Each structure stands twice: as structure tokens, then as C-alpha cells.
């Protein structure tokens, strides 16, 4: 009779019978070293990493998505999905833009020129408007 590696079989195991214990150990080791099991584990981990990276990409968190997806799977996807985006903000309107953006998608200013202005010039420009 072949020994199976289950919790029910472990509960039925006579711990005084060393041959039965060795058979159970051999059966559990064979189950853990099964290449089909490892193929599934590696495949699901790679899919979880890919989905996490795809969720993190538009939020500027590609590597975080990759790592959280590999470590926690769907829970990592939620962590990356609800995390604060890591994208640069426009200094004028605060809209988040992509890393290589030249023009803000929110207000249309040139981000390179706006980034070169000092904080003092921004405050002065706000103070020279109409009214108070």
C-alpha cells in the first residue's frame, strides 16, 4: 500500500512504527519535489509579477508592483493599486504627469521651463494678479 501525504494520513500514523514514519516522510518529500507542482508555483509567481508590474506601470511604481506581485500575489496588486502614485507633479496646477512629459496634461505649461523657475518667481507671479 502506497502512503499518501495528507493530514488525515498523518493523524492515522503510528508514531512508534519507524517504518511507517519513514514511508510518510518519503511520500511527503516526493510530493514536495514533484516537478509539476514547481512548474505551477513558478508559473503563478511569474503571472503575479506581470500583473503587479502592469498595475504599477501607469502609477510610476513598476518595480514596486513587480516585487509586491511576486511576494503577495493579489494582495500585492491591491497594495500597489492603492498606493500613492510616484509621478512628478506640475508646479503650476499639481496634475501628475508621466516621467518624460514635456507639457502638463492639466494646464498645458512647458514643464521644463516651469521646473527651472525658482519658488520666489512663482510666488511673485501669483502676487501680481488682479485684486487681492
* DSSP state, residue 58: G
Q: Are residues 97 and 120 in the same domain?
A: yes
pLDDT attached to residue 96 = 79
Q: Tell me the pLDDT tens digit for each residue of 107-131.
A: 888 877 776 765 555 555 555 555 5
pLDDT attached to residue 125 = 53
pLDDT attached to residue 115 = 66
Q: Are residues 12 and 25 in the same domain?
A: yes
Q: Are residues 39 and 77 in the same domain?
A: yes
Q: Are residues 79 and 102 in the same domain?
A: no
Q: Are residues 40 and 82 in the same domain?
A: yes
d(CA 111, CA 66): 29
Q: Are residues 25 and 58 in the same domain?
A: no
pTM: 0.63
Q: Are residues 16 and 50 in the same domain?
A: no
Query: What's the alpha-carbon Rg for the chain, to the nearest Å?
Result: 29
In the chain, the number of structural domains is 3
Q: Tell me the pLDDT tens digit for each residue of 15-63.
A: 899 999 999 999 999 999 999 999 999 999 999 999 999 999 988 899 9
Q: How confident is the model at residue 86 (pLDDT cuts 50, 70, 90)?
A: confident
Domain that holds residue 23: 1-33
Calculate helix-pair angle for 74-82, 62-72, nearest 10 degrees.
150
DSSP string, 9-28: HHHH--TT-HHHHHHHHHHH
Q: Are residues 82 and 92 in the same domain?
A: no
Amino acid at each position: 500500500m502506497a502512503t499518501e501525504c495528507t493530514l488525515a494520513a498523518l493523524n492515522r500514523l503510528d508514531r512508534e512504527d519507524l517504518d511507517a514514519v519513514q514511508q510518510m516522510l518519503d511520500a511527503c518529500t516526493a510530493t514536495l519535489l514533484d516537478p509539476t507542482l514547481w512548474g505551477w508555483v513558478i508559473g503563478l509567481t511569474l503571472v503575479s509579477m506581470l500583473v503587479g508590474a502592469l498595475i504599477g506601470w501607469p502609477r510610476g511604481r513598476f518595480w514596486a508592483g513587480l516585487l509586491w506581485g511576486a511576494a503577495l500575489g493579489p494582495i500585492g496588486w491591491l497594495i500597489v493599486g492603492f498606493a500613492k502614485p510616484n509621478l512628478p507633479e506640475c508646479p503650476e496646477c499639481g496634475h501628475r504627469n508621466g516621467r518624460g512629459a514635456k507639457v502638463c496634461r492639466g494646464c498645458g505649461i512647458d514643464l521644463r521651463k516651469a521646473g527651472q523657475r525658482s519658488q520666489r518667481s512663482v510666488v511673485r507671479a501669483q502676487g501680481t494678479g488682479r485684486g487681492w
